[in-house]
């Protein structure tokens, strides 16, 4: 583990939760005491105020799962980065594969969202990853490089401020995790690409996501270029999520 890169574990609740269920989950996370990793949860928009209130004065950060690329205006249903920043949002996922696939988000739109978040002081967690078809066609490297390159190009000298999450689409919600070697190989590629773009590459956090569970988090997080995880299903259960947060210490 690189001493200069403390692990970051982020829960992506996706479209799950109720006021009562979130209350129990956030209380359990808060009462867990000090954790060896930086930790955050990305809640659905209607629950951001609840996360902000419940996590105030705690070490656990919180974030959104998406934001608009636009500043403001006639964009019904969208939420701007300024609104997220208005009440203290620290992180925003952008370009999650579910949004790329289900909402046809292009590489450039994802890059514009990352830029909108950064402009408001919110750290974008930029998700990249190949589908099973792309992996089997030997296109993994080309796909993730293309996705990251759009963001690097748009952010320019601020590229070093983002967090990158490698989430192979075939590993999301499937129980089929990338092996630590497969994940590390892609992380190393991404790190090399970042080195060519920003002097901050060595300090940047690169997260792995896709069926991370308490029993596989330790070995994944032990890889030299894996600096933590983006956790879907297991982030909804406090005991599992906390076990993953603690895996960063091993």
Binding site for ligand 13P (CB under 6 A): 12, 96, 167, 172-173, 209-212, 230-234
Tracing tokens 């004065």 back to the chain, one arrives at: 57
The number of beta carbons lying within 10 Å of the beta carbon of residue 250 is 11
Closest CB to ligand 13P among 16 and 70? Answer: 16
Closest CB to ligand 13P among 143 and 197? Answer: 143
Q: Of these residues, 96, 130, 134, 187, which one is catalytic?
A: 96
Q: How far is the CB of 4 from ligand 13P (least distance, A)?
A: 25
CA distance 93 to 45: 12
Give residues with Cβ within 8 angstroms of 195, minimum separation 6. Answer: 201, 202
Q: How far is the CB of 171 from ligand 13P (least distance, A)?
A: 6
Kind plus residue range of the DSSP H or E element containing 208? strand 206-209
19 in active site:
no
Closest CB to ligand 13P among 197 and 209? Answer: 209
Closest CB to ligand 13P among 150 and 172? Answer: 172
Q: How far is the CB of 229 from ligand 13P (least distance, A)?
A: 8
Q: Of these residues, 105, 134, 167, 187, which one is catalytic?
A: 167
| DSSP summary character for residue 143 | H
Give residues with Cβ within 8 angstroms of 158, minimum separation 6. Answer: 115, 118
Specify whether the CB–CB gap between 42 and 14 falls below 8 A: no
Residue 209: closest CA among 68, 97, 50: 97
CA distance 205 to 226: 8
96 in active site:
yes
- Nearest residue to ligand 13P by CB is 232
Q: How far is the CB of 118 from ligand 13P (least distance, A)?
A: 20
Active site residues: 96, 167
């Amino acid at each position: 583990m690189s001493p200069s890169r403390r692990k970051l574990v982020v829960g992506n609740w996706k479209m799950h939760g109720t006021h009562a269920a979130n209350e129990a989950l956030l209380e359990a996370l808060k009462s867990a005491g000090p954790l060896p990793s930086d930790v955050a949860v990305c809640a659905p928009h209607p629950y951001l105020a609840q996360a902000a209130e419940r996590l105030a004065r705690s070490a656990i950060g919180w974030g959104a799962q998406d934001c608009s690329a636009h500043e403001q205006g006639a964009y019904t249903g969208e939420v701007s980065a300024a609104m997220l920043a208005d009440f203290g949002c620290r992180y925003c996922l952008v370009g999650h594969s579910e949004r790329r696939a289900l909402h046809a988000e292009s590489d450039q739109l994802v890059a514009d969202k990352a830029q909108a978040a950064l402009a408001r002081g919110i750290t974008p967690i930029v998700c990249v990853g190949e589908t099973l078809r792309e992996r089997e066609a030997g296109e993994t490297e080309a796909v993730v490089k293309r996705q990251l390159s759009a963001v690097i190009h748009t952010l320019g000298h601020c590229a070093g401020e983002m967090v990158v999450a490698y989430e192979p689409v075939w590993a999301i919600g499937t129980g089929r995790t990338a092996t630590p070697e497969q994940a590390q190989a892609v992380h190393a590629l991404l790190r090399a690409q970042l080195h060519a773009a920003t002097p901050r590459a060595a300090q940047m956090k690169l997260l792995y996501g896709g069926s991370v569970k308490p029993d596989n988090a330790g070995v994944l997080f032990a890889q030299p270029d894996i600096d933590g995880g983006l956790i879907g299903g297991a982030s909804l259960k406090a005991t599992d999520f906390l076990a993953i947060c603690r895996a960063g210490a091993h």
